[in-house]
Structure formats: C-alpha cells, structure tokens
Structure 1
Amino acid sequence: MTTDPRTLADRLLSRDRDAVAEALNLTDDQRPERQAAALKLLDILEREAPFPGAARIGITGAPGAGKSTLLDALVRELRPRGETVAIVAVDPSSQRTGGALLGDRIRLRSGSSDPGVFIRSMAARDRLGGLSDATHAGVTILALVFDRVFIETVGVGQSEADVSRLVDTLVFVANPGTGDVLQFMKAGLLELPDIFLVNKADAGPIAERTVSELESGLSLGERSDAAWTPPVLLTSARDGSGVHQFVEALDAHRRHLQNDDRISQRRGEAARALVIGALQRRYGSFGLQQLGGLASLRSRLAEDPTPSAFTRIARLGAEIEEALRKSD
C-alpha cells in the first residue's frame, strides 16, 4: 500500500477524521519504507500545524483510581458543548510482539458510537508505564483533528515524567485511602501535575482526607511554574459531581499557559526531551558520546529549533550510526 505523505497531511490539516486511522497505522508500522513515509508526514504536520491547536491533557494515576470512568464522564460533559474528544490509552506491551496487551481497554459507554469521540490504545513498548515514540506521533496527529486529546497512562512513576513532557496539562487522579498520595510524594513527583483530582467523592471522609493530604504536600514543595497553584478537586466520575468544575480547571490552566507564551516554551521543551529520550533509548550513553555528549546535544537542539522532533531523531540517529561505523 502506497501512502503519499503530502496528501495525507493535507487531509489531516483540513480536520478529516477519516484520515486519522490511516495516519496512526502508518506511524506505528515498523517496515522501513512505511517509517520513511511516516517521518515525512510528521515533519509536515509539525511545521504546518496551527498553533496552539488542541488541548493536550495527560491523565495519570494508579490502577483502580477511576481514570477510565473519569474519561467517560468527561465525554458526557464535553460532547454536548460540541467539543470533539480523542483518547489515547497507553498500555503495557507484549515483550514478544510489541503490541498493546489490553487492547482498547477504555470502554466508553458515552462515546462508543459517537463520531466525535476517537479512542486508541497504544503500546508502551518496553517501557513500563512510559511512552513509545508512536504515542508522541499519535498525539501530533490527533491534535490536528480533535478539540481535546487525552492521554491516559498507568501511574507507575516513569509515566508521570514522560507524559508531563508530552501534554500541556497533567492531571493526577488519586484513589482515596490507598496510599497513592504518599507513594507519589516519596517518588518526588508531586511537582509535576498541574491539577490534582481525588476521585470517588462518595467515599466521604476518606476522600476529604486525601484532599487535605494533597494540599499539605503541595505547600511543602517547589514548582517550576510559580505562577500556577495546582487546584485539588474532589469529583465522583460515577455520578458526574465535580466534573464541570474539573473542566473549568482545565480551561483555566489552558488560559494560564497562553499568557506570556508559556505553552510555546513548554512544547519546545517537550520536543527537545522527545529527541533526547529517543536517542538515549536507542543508542545509550555511548551513542550520545558520538554527538559530544548530552550537554553538547542539548546545545545543538537549543541553537536550531527549526526541524521537527521526528526529523531530528532520524538525522541525529544517522549521525550516531555513521560515527559508530567509522570507529569499528
């Protein structure tokens, strides 16, 4: 099957939903000729996509926190407003096939037959809870066609750091009375989320105590964005209480990022982190030494931000491989 990247890009840029599945399948195809076409497609999309485009929102938290039920409630809240929604569920991966083990594990009653809702399950490859390069590519594609893109990950430590570099707003969903908050604080990840959500408000005093724990923990830490104080919200995804306030908090953070061009800075940092992370995973520290080391690589990325992140990965990867061949 031959895919013309320019034609496919034009369809996506015109918000053609029928082009989404074809583009996602292309970027997840590991055959060399398909990967070359995917690279051309992503390069066009990164250069020509309207800015800032769709809101990119990460939803993370331990298994059982109610993330999928929350997403169902968000769809019920957003669709009557006329907003379209895309959801990426990042699954653990099969070590043998590299595919998602759980398939489309989000079963949204509210969006199962709605053309304004798109659900895609993507594998984390060999990174438990982390994000594969295909996830980054998928978000780039979905953000062109849908109004909001949600990325749901299993909160096992690595995912919070990974997804925070991919999204505009990171939401941590806490499960009352399970020790999630304490573990999150011990892992030093409390400074990452932009919004904290205590789900299952019907748990009563236990849920309220979890809210207090989070608020106390936030008062002890420092954040890179001192101008934003993360709200701690109490919701019940099951009956929808607090979901409207949650959407208001998402919109407030979006407005905050658009002030003083914070969103541009955040996405630039995310693009550089994507390049560095991809090269580190593929070639290790020895490979990065072929580029002069990590500090040298950071300087090169900061000096010339023009190429797309995916083009940078390909070019720098080729440079590393050429240096390694010469050293043999």
Structure 2
Amino acid sequence: MNLLESHRDADRDARRDLVDALATTPREGGQVVGLTGPPGVGKSTLAGKLVAEWRRRGLSVGVIAVDPSSKRSGGAVLGDRSRIAKPPGDDAVFVRSMAARDRLGGLAPATMEAVLVMRAAYDRVLVETVGVGQSETDVSATADQTIVIVQPASGDTLQFIKAGLMEVFDLLVVNKGDLGDVAKRTRRELRLALRVLDRADTPVVLTSGATGAGVPELVDALDARFSALGDGLAALRGHKLREHIVRAVTELYGTLHLRTLGGAPSALARLEALAPDTAPSDLLDALAPASTRR
C-alpha cells in the first residue's frame, strides 16, 4: 500500500507492474462497496457496523477510509480509522487511511490502485469517502456497488439527486433509524421519489449506526445485487477501470490533450475497443502523448 502512494521515481516501475498484475488477474470474489454521504450523516459509524457484520459472517474485510488531509503534513487525519473498531489480533480486518489531498471527487489519488490490492486479498472491500457534493462522485468508479447515506429530516430528501448522485447510487440508506418516525417518513419519501424516477427497484434500507439495526438487511441487499451481476461483473470492472484511465490521462496531461483525443467519450471508446485483459499501463499508453509512451 505504501508503494501505491509513493511518488519516488525509483518505485514507478514496481508500482506499474503490481497494478498491471492485479488488474489482469482479478479475484472475482472480492466484493467492493463504496460508502458516501454528506458530513455528519454517520458514514464512519455505519462503516464500523458493516465491518462487524461481515466479520460475524466469517468474511475478511479491507477498509479504505479516505480522510481529510492534514494542512500541515498533507497526510490523512486518521479520524475514520479511530471509529472503525478492529478486535485486537484480528488479522482478517485491515484499515487503511488515505488522504484526499483536496481532490473534489472525495477519494485519494491512489484509491483505485488500493482497491485492486485489497480486492485480491479480502472477501469484502469498503471504500468510505470524505463526503459528497457536486463533484464528489468518484467512489462509484471504484466500487462494484455504491451506498449513499441520507440524513433523516434533512429538509430535502432529493438533495442527493441535486448533488449529481442520480447515476451513482445502487442502494440508499436512511441512517439514524433510531430516530423513529422521522426516519421512516424519510424512507417513504425516498421510495416515492425513486418510483417517479423509474428506480423503484432500488433498495432503501433503514439502519442505525448506533445500535446496528438494519445492518444485516443491508448486507443481504448488497449480496443479492452483487450475485445478480453474474457474468457481467468482469465487464463492469473493466469499464470502470477504463473510465479511471481517462480521468488519469486528463490529470496527467490536461484537458487540452483530452480534446485532441476527441474528448472523454471518444477516449473511452478507444479503450473499450481494446482487449478486455489489456493491462492498465497499456491502456494509459494508448491515450498518452506519443512522446511519453514507453
């Protein structure tokens, strides 16, 4: 994991070879779940309950907790790690804090690569973001499924749609279910809204991060949707990896270079035309300026 976040030139080749190997020999069983929502909604508390439920079912768990960056050091503040309980001596749970470093997408720069590593080693991988907003939707590009947490009585149950999350979530969670009627009312409002938006089949689960109520039902819903992906899982992951490469090319070489490729949709189409088992470094080379290719 340290290798993935290293900026040393001496580590570049080793980092590339590791990512290529993991991406082209995927471990299909490692289910990746993204968790996002506005600050204060109880993401970290619910994450801890999810980890506990997975461990109760005998599953190993890797957690990528993307924390705000320290303004002094640039590293992760480590707040989320302290809220995710890990039993002493339990090697089947690994929590890694990563610094967002002011990225609008809510994720750290090396999150996709970290997901590849953890997916190869753990039965479940949980990616928790800093927060959610107009641009903070990158979590969906790393996860097989994404949970968006909604705050009861937040004043506008459709705020997650206004925030640009309509195409992001696979499941909705109304956390703080211990608030009683107000939480149940929010769940009803969300279900009505989803029906209008032709998303009536989207699960809306009522949970309590404080008591753990509803978490087993949430895990069951995740498993059911993951199983339904079936043979489409490899294609989904391949598509999301290619979307990640397009974003990486934009960050590395700028929007001007992306325009020379015909824009993001054209660049993505180029990558989709390549073989499904094409290594990430080769995908990157396919879009990079000729002068920078290996």
TM-score (norm 2): 0.89
Structure 1 contact 60–172 (Cα < 8 Å) conserved: yes
Matched, 1:56 2:32: yes
Q: 1:81: which partner in 2?
A: 57
Q: 2:4: which partner in 1?
A: 27
Alignment of 1:261-280 (within 5 A): 261-280=231-250
Q: Which amino acid aligns with 1:84?
A: S
For the residues of structure 2 that align with 1:316 and 1:53, how far apart are their CA atoms? 30
In structure 2, which of residues 280, 283, 287 is the aligned counterpart of residue 312 of structure 1?
283
Structure 1 window deviating more from structure 2 (103-112 vs 197-206): it is 103-112
- Structure 1 residues 263, 106: closer, same or farther in 2, change over 3 A? farther
- Structure 1 residues 109, 132: closer, same or farther in 2, change over 3 A? closer
Structure 1 window deviating more from structure 2 (151-160 vs 309-318): it is 309-318
For the residues of structure 2 that align with 1:128 and 1:31, how far apart are their CA atoms? 24
Residues 281-325 of structure 1, C-alpha deviations (whole Å, 9 max, x = no match)? 222221224445444422320111332224422564353647xxx
- Structure 1 residues 31, 180: closer, same or farther in 2, change over 3 A? farther
Structure 2 contact 41–150 (Cα < 8 Å) conserved: yes
Structure 2 contact 105–139 (Cα < 8 Å) conserved: no
Q: 1:230: which partner in 2?
A: 202
- Structure 1 residues 158, 168: closer, same or farther in 2, change over 3 A? farther
Q: 1:4: which partner in 2?
A: none
Q: 2:267: which partner in 1?
A: 297
Structure 2 contact 183–206 (Cα < 8 Å) conserved: yes
How far off is 1:137 after superposition? Answer: 0.6
For the residues of structure 2 that align with 1:111 and 1:180, how far apart are their CA atoms? 38
Alignment of 1:79-118 (within 5 A): 79-94=55-70, 98-102=74-78, 105-111=81-87, 113-118=89-94
- Structure 1 residues 157, 311: closer, same or farther in 2, change over 3 A? farther
Residues 196-239 of structure 1, C-alpha deviations (whole Å, 9 max, x = no match)? 1111111011101110121122112246xxxx821111111221
For the residues of structure 1 that align with 2:284 and 2:69, how far apart are their CA atoms? 23
- Structure 1 residues 106, 229: closer, same or farther in 2, change over 3 A? farther
Q: 1:199: which partner in 2?
A: 175
How far off is 1:140 after superposition? Answer: 0.3
Q: 1:38: which partner in 2?
A: 15
Q: Which amino acid aligns with 2:3?
A: L
For the residues of structure 1 that align with 2:212 and 2:143, how far apart are their CA atoms? 24
For the residues of structure 2 that align with 1:320 and 1:156, how far apart are their CA atoms? 37
SS of 1:196's partner is strand
In structure 2, which of residues 162, 180, 184 is the aligned counterpart of residue 208 of structure 1?
184
State the aligned residue count.
Answer: 292
* Unaligned ranges ≥5, structure 2: none
Matched, 1:247 2:219: yes
Structure 2 contact 16–281 (Cα < 8 Å) conserved: yes
Structure 1 contact 93–123 (Cα < 8 Å) conserved: yes
How far off is 1:270 after superposition? Answer: 0.3
How far off is 1:65 after superposition? Answer: 1.2
Q: 1:182: which partner in 2?
A: 158
Q: Which has the higher helix share?
A: 1
* Unaligned ranges ≥5, structure 1: 1-23, 323-328
Structure 2 contact 44–80 (Cα < 8 Å) conserved: no
Alignment of 1:144-159 (within 5 A): 144-157=120-133
SS of 2:189's partner is helix
Matched, 1:162 2:138: yes
How far off is 1:43 after superposition? Answer: 0.7
Give % identity.
43
SS of 1:69's partner is helix
For the residues of structure 2 that align with 1:290 and 1:188, how far apart are their CA atoms? 27
| Alignment root-mean-square deviation, CA | 2.4
Residues 132-159 of structure 1, C-alpha deviations (whole Å, 9 max, x = no match)? 3411110100011110000001332256
Structure 1 contact 275–310 (Cα < 8 Å) conserved: no
Residues 264-289 of structure 1, C-alpha deviations (whole Å, 9 max, x = no match)? 23212201110111111222221224
Structure 1 contact 169–254 (Cα < 8 Å) conserved: yes
